[in-house]
Amino acid sequence: TRPKPSFKRVLLKISGEALMGDQGYGLHPPTVQRIAREVQAVHSIGVEVCMVIGGGNIFRGLQGSAQGMERTTADYMGMLATVMNALAMQSALEELDVFTRVISAIRMDEVAEPYIRRRAVRHLEKKRVCIFAAGTGNPYFTTDTAATLRANEMNCEAIFKGTKVDGVYDKDPMKFDDATRYETVSYDDCLAKRLGVMDASAIALARDNNLPIIVFSLDEPGGFRGILAGEGTYTRVQ
Ligand code: UDP
List residues near ligand 1 (CB under 6 A).
Answer: 15-17, 54-56, 60-62, 75, 78-79, 81-82, 135-136, 138-139, 141-144, 146
Q: Which of 168, 158, 173, 147 is nearest to 16 (CA)?
A: 147
Q: pLDDT confidence of 138, banded at 50, 70, 90? A: very high
pLDDT at 2: 53
What is the position in ligand 1's atom list of the atom closest to the CA of 74? 11
Q: What is the mean pLDDT of the chain?
A: 95
Q: Nearest C-alpha to atom 21 of ligand 1 is from which residue?
A: 54
Q: Which of 63, 101, 99, 100 is nearest to 81 (CA)?
A: 63
Locate the domains of the chain by residue range. Answer: 9-237
Question: Rounded to a whole number, what is the distance in angstroms from the first to the last CA of the chain?
Answer: 15
Q: What percent of the chain has pLDDT over 70?
A: 98
What is the position in ligand 1's atom list of the atom closest to the CA of 14? 24
Note the pTM of the prediction, 2 decimals. Answer: 0.96
pLDDT at 230: 87
Q: Which of 159, 141, 180 is nearest to 236 (CA)?
A: 159
Contact (CB, 8 A) for 79 and 132 = no
3-state helix, strand, coil in the chain (%, to 5): 40, 20, 45
- Residue-wise pLDDT for 50-98, tens only, equals 999 999 999 999 999 999 999 999 999 999 999 999 999 999 999 999 9
- Residue-wise pLDDT for 16-45, tens only, equals 999 999 999 999 999 999 999 999 999 999
Judged against a pLDDT cut of 80, whether residue 1 lies above it is answered with: no
Residue 114 marked ligand-binding:
no
Q: Nearest C-alpha to atom 22 of ligand 1 is from which residue?
A: 54
Average pLDDT for 114-138: 98
- 187, burial (CB in 10 Å: exposed 0-12, middle 13-18, buried 19+): buried
Q: Which of 156, 149, 35 is nearest to 86 (CA)?
A: 35
Contact (CB, 8 A) for 103 and 136 = no
pLDDT at 94: 98
Mutate to test the pocket of ligand 1, among 72, 141, 142 (most ligand atoms within 8 A of CB): 142
- Residue-wise pLDDT for 167-218, tens only, equals 999 998 989 999 999 999 999 999 999 998 999 999 999 999 999 999 999 9
3-class DSSP state for residue 158?
Answer: strand
Second CATH level (architecture) for the domain 9-237: 3-Layer(aba) Sandwich (3.40)
Distance from the CA of 143 to the center of ligand 1, in angstroms? 5
Q: Which of 134, 142, 126, 124 is nearest to 50 (CA)?
A: 124
Distance from the CA of 135 to the center of ligand 1, in angstroms? 7
Give residue 49's Cα distance to chain centre: 11
Mutate to test the pocket of ligand 1, among 79, 83, 149 (most ligand atoms within 8 A of CB): 79
pLDDT at 21: 93
pLDDT at 6: 81
Q: pLDDT confidence of 5, banded at 50, 70, 90? A: low
Neighbour tally for 152: CB within 10 Å? 17
